[in-house]
Amino acid sequence: MTLEILGITVLWTFLFGYVIVGSIDYGAGFFNAYSIMTKKEHVLSNIIQRYLSPVWEVTNVFFVFFFVGVVGFFPQTAYYFGTIFLIPGSIALLLLAVRGSYYAFETYVSRGHKGYAFMYGLSGLLIPASLSIVLTISEGGFVHIEDGNPVLDYWALFTSPLSWSIVVLSIVAVLYISAVFLTWYANKTGDRDATELMRKYALFWAGPLIITAGGIIYELRFHNPAHYEQLLGLWWMFALSFILWLATVWFLWKRTNYAAAVWLLVGQFAFAFYGYGISHFPYLLYPVLTVHEGFTNKAMAISLVIVFILGLALLIPSLYLLLKLFLFDKTYLKGKNKKE
Nearest approach, Cβ of residue 192 and other proteins (Å) = 25
Pick from 161, 325, 328, 334 the residue near other proteins by CB under 8 A. 325
Residues pairing with 188 in the sheet:
none
List C-alpha distances in Å: 192 to 35, 165, 182, 310. 16, 35, 12, 42
Nearest approach, Cβ of residue 68 and ligand HEM (Å) = 8
104 binds ligand HEM (CB under 6 A): no
Which of residues 13 and 60 has its CB atom nearest to other proteins in the complex?
A: 60
CA distance 287 to 290: 8
Contact 162, 139 (CB under 8 A): yes
Closest by CA to 139, choosing from 122, 161, 117, 124, is 161
Q: Is residue 285 classed as helix, strand or coil in its secondary structure?
A: strand
326 binds other proteins (CB under 8 A): yes
Nearest approach, Cβ of residue 188 and other proteins (Å) = 17
Burial class for 256, CB neighbours closer than 10 Å (0-12, 13-18, 19+): exposed
49 binds ligand HEM (CB under 6 A): no
Q: Is residue 149 classed as helix, strand or coil in its secondary structure?
A: strand
Segment 123-162, which members bind other proteins (CB under 8 A)?
147, 149, 151
Neighbour tally for 307: CB within 10 Å: 11
CA distance 264 to 153: 39
How many CA within 13 A on the CB side of residue 332?
Answer: 16
340 binds ligand HEM (CB under 6 A): no
Which of residues 3 and 71 has its CB atom nearest to ligand HEM in the complex?
A: 71
Q: Which of the listed partners (ligand HEM, other proteins, none) does 82 bind, with a CB threshold of 5 to 8 Å by partner kind?
A: other proteins
Which of residues 5 and 71 has its CB atom nearest to ligand HEM in the complex?
A: 71
CA distance 31 to 43: 11
Pick from 13, 60, 257, 290 the residue near ligand HEM by CB under 6 A. 60
Query: By beta-carbon distance, which residue lies closest to ligand HEM?
Result: 60
Pick from 61, 122, 278, 305 the residue near ligand HEM by CB under 6 A. 61
Which range touches other proteins (CB under 8 A), out of 237-245, 259-267, 272-280, 293-301? 293-301
Which of residues 39 and 339 has its CB atom nearest to other proteins in the complex?
A: 339
Exposure string over 288-306, b if 16+ CB within 10 A, otherwise e: bbbbeebbbeeeebeebee
78 binds ligand HEM (CB under 6 A): no
Q: Which of the listed partners (ligand HEM, other proteins, none) does 71 bind, with a CB threshold of 5 to 8 Å by partner kind?
A: other proteins
55 binds ligand HEM (CB under 6 A): no
Nearest approach, Cβ of residue 90 and other proteins (Å) = 4
Burial class for 313, CB neighbours closer than 10 Å (0-12, 13-18, 19+): exposed
Q: Which of the listed partners (ligand HEM, other proteins, none) does 101 bind, with a CB threshold of 5 to 8 Å by partner kind?
A: other proteins
Say which residues have a Cβ less than 8 Å from residue 248's Cβ, sequence separation at least 6.
Answer: 180, 206, 261, 264, 265, 268
Pick from 1, 39, 57, 314 the residue near ligand HEM by CB under 6 A. 57
Residues that bind ligand HEM in the complex, under the rule CB under 6 A = 57, 60-61, 64
